[in-house]
Amino acid sequence: MKISFASLALPKKGVLVFPVADDLAFSVNLQKLNDASDGAIIKAIEAASFKGKKGQTLDILGGVGEYDRIILLGTGNDEGCVDSESEVQNLGGKLFAALEKAKIKNAVVMLGEVVGGFSPDYVAAHLAYGAKLRSYVFHHYFTKKKDEDKPQLQEIDFHLTAHTEAASKYQTLESVASGVFLARDVVSEPPNVLYPESYAEKCKELKDLGVKVEVLNEKEMQKLGMGALLGVGQGSVQESRLVIMHYNGATQKTAQPIAFVGKGVTFDTGGISLKPAPNMEEMKYDMGGSGAVVGLMKALAGRKAKVNAIGVIGLVENMPDGNAQRPGDVVTSMSGQTIEIHNTDAEGRLVLADALWYTQQRFKPKFMIDLATLTGAIVVSLGNEYAGVFSNNDELAERIFSAGQHSGEKVWRFPLGKAYDKQIDSKIADMKNIGAGRGAGSITAAQFLQRFANDTAWAHLDIAGMAWEKKGLDTVPEGATGFGVRLLDRLVAEHYEN
């Protein structure tokens, strides 16, 4: 779908969209059309009981000059309905959904007024961004889909006075959307297509944006002593990989980098601790954390962010083979710390343990943030509304929370503490890979990871409830969400560029 911006002028025909607040005050151009059509727009509003509520739409077919349709998009009021950028983006998503449902191919959005206290150029850029995010589809494997069942909307053209400023703002947002789409793509791919080796090759495409990409194979990881990560993948015929992405965009090229680490279990059967069969096909998205990291690196490079950033993803496949890791095994991590395996389905923390240690030892970053679809316990706690955040640094945690509120990818902080940490002590090794009993499962998993962060400022995002959307949201179609890209891009833009 193409997004374009032009000067504020009424086209002679086609489909027009007008934002309307709940006071139903008309813009100059909308009033002109209403007068020229003998009040047809007012009559349609009264007949349909259109109130201008946030996201409400009214599709007026014919009866207004030469126009095919006039669509009114409710923006709500200025005191709470459209009070953040994510709310404007949600309106853009609703707009896209309405246009797509009506099978409209081209539409012009007339923005002559302030919406929710935001300037028209700001509104245009974020409406366009929301529409772009909602437009994502993953149709790679359909062979018999009819043309009428494919996406119809080809272009949205935003008309406003400050169209040049809107286009500039949108250019940055479009780069972030591109990163979100990459994250959604890799999470959506089936596991026979996206496995550690093919995923690593996919990451190399970022070189076109100036991102340096390194790939470590199993022999190289063995030399580094990554027994925790390698233990997870030893039951699979697919070899494990570690991918390191470097983006150097800071004004000072030697500036200390920031680092993002992702869990990339391309398929998770649970290993010997086998998962139940129902819904196991969804375990292709157990690499959602790594997808967010790869998508973020594309977003930062695409918009030329002024920061030095490192992305590290551990890629494994967890399978129940004759050579698979067993409950009761003891593995030695890159840190030298030993881990007793109590449950082979608690594998993501083993992958992250070596990836985190490698990252903080090699790059000495300002901070590390890891993302992982780590525990079912976080879904029990937060459902699909928030990701859980755990951190050893209050400032970092607070900044992540704030970025979540603004971006719409929300997080909620959980505690860490000695009592929780004690639960992962092992009787025969330095630690075990699960806590004691069913309680506090997300927290004990985070305590495990903290043991590999050392003194580096660190945060862990458990996104198990956020990586896959079953019903669809305003800016997130059903399926892979790309959660984390917008959140972390906002964090970087607000606090870490120079």
Indicate which residues carry an active-site annotation: 275, 349
Query: Count of CB atoms within 10 A of residue 224's CB?
Result: 17
Distance CA 83, CA 292 (A): 27
Q: Is the separation of the CB atoms in 113 and 58 below 8 Å? A: no
What residue type is assigned to position 94 of the chain? Answer: K
Distance CA 227, CA 333 (A): 5
Phi and psi at 258, nearest 5°, equal: -105, 155
What residue type is assigned to position 347 of the chain? Answer: E
Distance CA 181, CA 100 (A): 19
For 21, 22, 44, 219, 426, the CA distances from 116, given in Å and listed in that order, are 8, 11, 24, 57, 56
**Tokens representing 337?**
């710390």
**Tokens representing 93?**
């998503």
Apex 130 CA angle, 399 and 122, nearest 5:
75
Query: Count of CB atoms within 10 A of residue 5's CB?
Result: 24
User: 161-168 long-range contacts, Cβ below 8 Å, gap at least 24?
Assistant: 161/7, 161/8, 161/112, 161/120, 162/119, 162/120, 162/121, 163/5, 163/6, 163/7, 163/8, 163/121, 163/124, 164/5, 165/121, 166/5, 166/120, 166/121, 166/122, 166/124, 166/125, 166/128, 167/5, 167/125
Closest CA relative to residue 366, chosen from 257, 450, 251: 257
| Entry field: residues in the chain | 498
